[in-house]
């Protein structure tokens, strides 16, 4: 099969969807299929050349929406060469342009919503939601309505998706998703990370890894850490990830006011051995997010045998809780503090057992090889290409 994936950008700083595209595409190519990318990046952007798959860059574009006059003509000319087009994400021209180009062509396209239909955004950003309503009926709704299938990565995400807009009719399907097993020597990676941050030697590290963003609950984590820090002087919080909105300075000031600034390390974005080393150096991974349809970083932590302490707004929380691979609480300050307190109260044997269950949970639910095989099997069986595998939800 030959598959084209459409995404706003392949810049790794964008977050989980880019890493997911990279991982699943690698497995598909190993299975003998061909994957290419169309994005709104500029051809000269450094991450385009560094991306491990061929990228057809339709930029440069301006603004967050990323309108490109080149995208639709390119798709109309080249899309018939592909067996399927997969759209990653909504609310940008990388999705609407696919609809404009393919709505009257015999090339099927599919959409990963990647959590972008979660009603949390409606509650957290009501003005932005109103703005989205202005173009929902004539743009994004049509993208979803006319897709061969809309893919959700958990039942939790699918159940939430129709609550943001009353006009919500599409063919939906829950599909496997995940990430790759960590590569390399875990002990060497751990030492590489600790050599970069020697202040962490001998510490019990609680790791946050992701964008420094309001949605992720970073402020809750810092405040909750302040509540439990006195219970063990060896406790240390690592905040790893890019600061895309300028919020880090405010969070650092919060740590100063709470008297714990010296017990927080800010690493910036991590990749490669440094990223895996951070997982291997940690006692537990913490993500008190207000909205997370999947969380590639959660799956990565599990793959490293790292217990995950997450909010019940991370849509895979049921799988985590059911497997005993971590702890779950509300996305509030009290809930986050409860996560940390319950983890610290576990005896060493309990923490060791949770590590084993974390690896087992990853292998069962979130191994990217299983996810890629599942998707290719759907295509080859005709379950989605033949129109028999998805069902209609919502009302027109």
Question: 332-345: per-residue pLDDT in tens?
Answer: 999 999 999 999 99
CB distance 48 to 12 below 8 Å:
no
Q: How far apart are CA 87 and CA 77, in angstroms?
A: 17
* DSSP calls for 195-240: HH-GGGTT-EEEEEES---GGGTHHHHHHHHHHHGGG-TTEEEEEE
Right CATH for 186-366 from 3.30.420.130, 3.90.950.20, 3.90.1170.50, 3.40.50.2000 = 3.40.50.2000
How buried is 271 (Cβ within 10 angstroms: 0-12 exposed, 13-18 middle, 19+ buried)?
exposed
Query: CB neighbours (10 Å) of residue 341?
Result: 15
pLDDT at 298: 96
Report pLDDT digits (tens) over 254-298. Answer: 999 999 999 999 999 999 999 999 999 999 999 999 999 888 999
As a CATH number, domain 2-178+369-393 is: 3.40.50.2000
How buried is 392 (Cβ within 10 angstroms: 0-12 exposed, 13-18 middle, 19+ buried)?
exposed
Question: Coil, strand or helix: which one is 149?
Answer: strand
CB distance 260 to 229 below 8 Å:
yes
Position with higher pLDDT, 314 vs 391? 314
Report pLDDT digits (tens) over 125-169. Answer: 899 889 899 889 999 999 999 999 999 998 999 999 988 888 889
- Over 60: is that where the pLDDT of 97 sits? yes
The reported pTM is 0.85
Which of 377, 193, 189 has the alpha carbon at shortest distance from 268? 193
Question: What backbone torsions phi and psi does residue 34 show, to the nearest 5 degrees?
Answer: -110, 130
Q: How far apart are CA 329 and CA 331, in angstroms?
A: 7
For the chain, residues classed under CATH 3.40.50.2000 are 2-178+369-393, 186-366
Which H or E element spans position 150? Answer: strand 149-152
| Segment 79-100 mean pLDDT | 96
Residue with tokens 């301006």: 62
């Amino acid at each position: 099969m030959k598959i084209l994936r459409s995404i706003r950008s392949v810049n790794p700083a964008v977050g989980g969807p880019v890493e997911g595209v990279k991982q699943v595409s690698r497995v598909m190519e190993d299975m003998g299929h061909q994957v290419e990318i169309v994005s709104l990046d500029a051809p000269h952007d450094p991450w385009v050349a560094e991306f491990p798959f061929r990228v057809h860059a339709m930029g440069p574009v301006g603004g967050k929406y990323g309108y490109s006059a080149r995208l639709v003509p390119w798709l109309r000319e080249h899309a018939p060469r592909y067996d399927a087009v997969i759209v990653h994400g909504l609310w940008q021209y990388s999705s609407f342009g696919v609809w404009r180009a393919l709505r009257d062509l015999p090339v099927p396209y599919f959409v990963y919503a990647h959590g972008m239909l979660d009603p949390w955004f409606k509650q957290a950003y009501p003005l932005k939601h109103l703005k989205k309503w202005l173009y929902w009926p004539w743009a994004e709704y049509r993208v979803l309505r006319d897709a061969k299938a809309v893919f959700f990565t958990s039942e939790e995400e699918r159940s939430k998706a129709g609550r943001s807009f009353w006009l919500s009719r599409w063919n939906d399907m829950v599909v496997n998703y995940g990430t790759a097993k960590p590569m390399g020597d875990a002990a060497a990676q751990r030492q590489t990370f600790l050599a970069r941050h020697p202040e962490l030697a001998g510490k019990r590290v609680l790791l946050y890894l992701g964008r420094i963003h309001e949605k992720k609950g970073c402020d809750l984590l810092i405040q909750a850490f302040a509540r439990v820090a006195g219970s063990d002087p060896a406790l240390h919080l690592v905040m790893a990830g890019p600061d895309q909105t300028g919020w880090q300075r405010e969070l650092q000031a919060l740590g100063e006011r709470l008297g714990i600034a010296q017990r927080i390390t800010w690493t910036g974005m991590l990749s490669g051995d440094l990223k895996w080393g951070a997982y291997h150096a940690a006692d537990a991974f913490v993500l008190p997010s207000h909205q997370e349809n999947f969380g590639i970083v959660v799956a990565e932590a599990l793959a490293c045998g790292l217990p995950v302490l997450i909010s019940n707004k991370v849509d895979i929380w049921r799988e985590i809780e059911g497997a005993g691979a971590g702890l779950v609480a509300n996305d509030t300050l009290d809930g986050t503090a409860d996560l940390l307190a319950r983890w610290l109260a576990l005896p060493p044997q309990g923490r060791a057992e949770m590590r084993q269950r974390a690896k087992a949970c990853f292998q069962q639910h979130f191994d990217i090889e299983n996810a890629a095989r599942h998707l290719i099997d759907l295509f080859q069986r005709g379950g989605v290409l033949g129109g028999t595998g998805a069902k209609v939800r919502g009302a027109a």
